[in-house]
Amino acid sequence: MEDPSIQDLVDEGTLDFTLGDNEGALKKLNRAVELEPQCFDAWLAMAEVYLSEKAIDEALESAEKAHALNSEELHINTTLSRIWVEKGDKEKAEHFAAQVRMINWKEELKEDPT
């Protein structure tokens, strides 16, 4: 039997998470980053799983790894803002919320102005 691809692991881990199987999700997502440490989608998904479990330090660690890979991605900045809210750091939460707004504005500026 062939090993699943990195994307399959991320997709299956995300499905597990949506079905409430956080343990299964984390197993698959951890396997994905073992095989490909630069897998942004796996780090982002892990951050969301950990955040849902209130494992805030683990969520932050995963989110920071994803952010290091793609700091201009909307969802990771939103996730980081939510994590910092949970940690009680209003200044950092607002920083990442502002990043989300700037990313949105950049996207709007790219669109047809008419």
CA distance 113 to 85: 35
What 3-state class would DSSP assign to 100?
helix
Q: How far apart are CA 77 and CA 67, in angstroms?
A: 7
Is 2 a residue whose pLDDT tops 80?
no
**Residues counted in the chain:** 114
Q: What is the pLDDT of residues 40-86, one digit of tens each?
A: 999 999 999 999 999 999 999 999 999 999 999 999 999 999 999 99
The model's pTM = 0.90
Give the angle subtended at the CA of 19 by the CAs of 33 and 40, to the nearest 5°: 25
Domains and CATH numbers, the chain: 6-110 (1.25.40.10)
